[in-house]
Structure 1
Amino acid sequence: MKKLILGAMIASSMLMAENFANVKITNDTIEVNAQYKVDPQNNIFARGTFLYNDNDNRNNFYSIGVKGEGNLIGIDLNYVKFSLIMDFVHTKNNSALPIGIGVNSFIPNMQIPTFVRGEYEFAPKVLSFDDADRFSRLYIEGGVQPIENAEIFAGYRNISFNSNYDSSFYIGAGFNF
């Protein structure tokens, strides 16, 4: 029975090409992201992030949350998808419930599918806990899909609790399924 349920979940996820898993690498960090479409009719996604930080002064970073996009939030353009995001983020001494926006666009008329995407999240003092007084996170990425369902990209991230947690350029690779 477990094999049947697992097989059904894998088959259903293969039909929805908006799920993904990717890895982002810098000198000091490795970040793993995943997203799964939990409601296909309403474009609602569950998402998670784990950021391993090799720097002795920093703890690992965790994030889980939900994202709604496209017609769910009333904005659905041909080449641009807007999204609303709500996450729970945590390190050893800081936690927050940020709310944010995201933009994802494929550049039209390119021989190799080329994309740009970005996200910004913010949590003021009232949505920050433990030692955190505020939280913000910014991602900006650009990349290509050299083969169907696979992507390579480069980007910049800035994660900040009361002070800067991580500000770095990275390279990454991912798989859409």
Structure 2
Amino acid sequence: MTGTRPRTRIVELPSRWLRDNMHEALTIYGLAMGYDAGVVAGRYGYAIQHTERPGFRAVGAFAETPEGERLVGFGYGYVIEPGQWWHDQVRAALDRRTAKQWLPGAFEVCELHVHPDHQSQGLGRQLLHALVADLPHPAALLSTPDADTKAFRLYHADGFVDLARGYHFPGDPRPFAILGARLPLHPRDPERANDQA
């Protein structure tokens, strides 16, 4: 039947599975973010290290294809701690009061990506909610390109607020926004969020 979407399922991924399939996941990362193969290859070692961090959690979206199920989206994160690269970058980007309110004990949504062929089907939102569901942390934080993208609109619709805008991480020329949301998530506009990512 033409025009039908493949059936997808969202599952929690064991860290071992993600380590064994990290190349597949990072291919989706590269396509979703518009990064070339060199950037993606350079990310591999860091992503493997992330799976060992405290509070690590990962989720995946699998779609049925004629060849069987395949990964079409994934997300992962862990507890933010001083000394981690992202924590220290974000700490420098935030004023002292904002950092004190948001960073301690928070969960970093480190990666959340959907293959471009499967975007605009609600998978990004499903992955995000599965990733942070029932976490024992006060907040979730993330960074995303500071532009009017599907992902940016999704995060805002799902309760994330701006903590910093126009921040430049080393090695990426694009400005990024640093966003935070209190947990559990409280979407501001669920219908609009369903249409994003």
Pick the TM interval, shorter chain: 0.3 to 0.5
Q: Which has the higher contact order (CA 8 A, sep 6+)?
A: 2
- Greater fraction of residues in helix: 2
Q: TM-score, normalised by structure 2?
A: 0.30
The structure with more radius of gyration = 1
Q: TM-score, normalised by structure 1?
A: 0.32
- Greater fraction of residues in strand: 1
